[in-house]
Amino acid sequence: MVETESSGPQTPPPFRWVVLLLFALNGLFTQVYWLNFSPITANVAQLYNQPVTNIYLLSTIFMIVYLVTGPISAVIIDARGFKTGTSIGVLLNGGFAFLRAFAVGPNDFWLLLAFQAGVAAGQPFMYNAISKLCARWFPPNERVTASGLANLGFFVGMLLSFLFSPILYDAMGLQGMLLVFGVTGLAVAIIFVILVQDHPAIPYGDVSRLSMSEIGKDIKQLFKNRFALVHAVIGFIGIGFFNMVFTLIQNITAVPNVSDDNAGLLGALALISGIIGLLLLPALSDKLFAAGKSYARKLFMVLSFAVATPTCVFLAFASDLTTAFVLMAVLGFFLLSSFAIAMQWVAEGTAPIPESQSNNLLMYMGQIGGILFIWLVPILFNTGTTASPIYGNAMYLGAAFMATCLILVLVFLRDKYLPRAK
């Protein structure tokens, strides 16, 4: 649970950074597994003799599986603790990722999809443990910074997947690529399980495990909490929009005929700038938090959506590639950092409800939004052809989404929910 005071050791344990690093590395590999087929979609479709739409399933299966395993993972984390819950996640990720390397025959596509679903089952255990990790191992004035660094691992994984999947595929073939990712990721998972503990010797606040009846009461309270419900709407719109943009990135701007390489570069630039944002904005938020400023979280959420709204409008009609590169970098810088701040803010604002439950609600709604938007955008906004679609007009809808999030933060997420550091 989120504590409003630092009840742990006077000097935070240095090992907290090791825990955070190992967590971030495992989060990195979950995203590598999610997107490693995206840059080589055409090649994979040819290898398995499948239509491209089936290859998209290797990525979208993560959002679908989350709808089942997300709530389960949150319950396990609360009932069995941070260490047990996260260990289940990293072993599912690494184990099934390794098995994928043995489903590379021309008739093995559906076996590969099954293994990919196994990897996807582990991802929610990582997402839903972020605020639990921050609350167990970090003092209150470092928690958004820790959340930002934990999220950083996920986004670095996306970037590495875009960059290295084509290189490894060209050099080693599909099986070689999957073996490199699977063996390395499984090794990192095993190291995490061996080294990481549930909490420091002198913990921050209460670290007791919850019974199923207590978890049930917490979930009921969560759905009665306005602060949580507003964040749920923001997750549905904001995270769903993010998932849609990165899935359809080749066709989502107003630039016609974006090549595979340029589509990858659009995503990479957004992620690189987003990583910079994750290193800067959450740290600034924590500095204000430590100084007792009640707007430490709200300020940066408002800034993020205020910038994202006009950026989406410009992306909807900017038809030259250079401008699209710049705009995607701006969108990534502000939007990605807002995720880390939102995850910590909703955990603080819904205390003493466990962090895993509030984080799961945020991410769960984001997966639903992503699935819905990915399905609707090609139907509603295709202004090109079937062979060369373009969904640039969907970015006007994205601007409306970002403006809605801005209004929700300004009107409904009041500063009184933010506990002051002492």
Is residue 419 predicted with pLDDT exceeding 60? no
Give the chain's mean pLDDT.
87
Residues 150-202 have pLDDT tens digits of 888 888 898 898 888 888 998 999 999 999 999 999 999 999 999 999 888 87
At 25, is the pLDDT very low, low, confident or very high (cuts 50, 70, 90)? Answer: very high
What one-character DSSP code corresponds to residue 419? Answer: P
Is residue 7 predicted with pLDDT exceeding 70? no
Place of tokens 């003493």: 352
pLDDT score, position 8: 57
pLDDT score, position 363: 85
Length, in residues, of the chain: 422
Question: Rounded to an integer, what distance in angstroms lies between the CA atom of residue 59 and that of residue 306?
Answer: 30
Asked if 392 and 252 touch (Cβ cutoff 8 Å), the reply is: yes
- Pick the closest to residue 358 from 129, 134, 158 (CA basis): 129
At 417, is the pLDDT very low, low, confident or very high (cuts 50, 70, 90)? Answer: very low
Residues 205-246 have pLDDT tens digits of 667 777 778 878 888 888 888 889 999 999 999 999 988 888
Domains of the chain and CATH, by start: 13-209 (1.20.1250.20), 212-413 (1.20.1250.20)
* Low-confidence winner among 104-113, 213-222, 390-399 (lowest mean pLDDT): 213-222
What percentage of the chain exceeds 70 in pLDDT?
A: 95
Higher pLDDT among residues 297 and 109, named by residue: 109
pLDDT score, position 289: 81
Position 361, amino acid: L
Question: Rounded to an integer, what distance in angstroms lies between the CA atom of residue 393 and that of residue 316?
Answer: 5
pLDDT score, position 205: 65
Is residue 38 predicted with pLDDT exceeding 50? yes
pLDDT score, position 229: 92
Question: Rounded to an integer, what distance in angstroms lies between the CA atom of residue 126 and that of residue 124?
Answer: 5
- Pick the closest to residue 395 from 263, 273, 245 (CA basis): 245
Is residue 302 predicted with pLDDT exceeding 90? yes
Residues 304-358 have pLDDT tens digits of 999 999 999 999 998 899 999 999 999 999 988 888 788 878 888 888 887 778 8
pTM above 0.75, yes or no: yes
For the ranges 32-36, 50-54, 285-289, 384-388, the one whose mean pLDDT is highest: 32-36
- Pick the closest to residue 19 from 195, 190, 238, 182 (CA basis): 195
Place of tokens 């601007």: 399
What does each C-alpha distance from 373 to 65, 157, 310, 345 come to in angstroms? Answer: 17, 23, 20, 25
For range 393-397, the mean pLDDT:
94
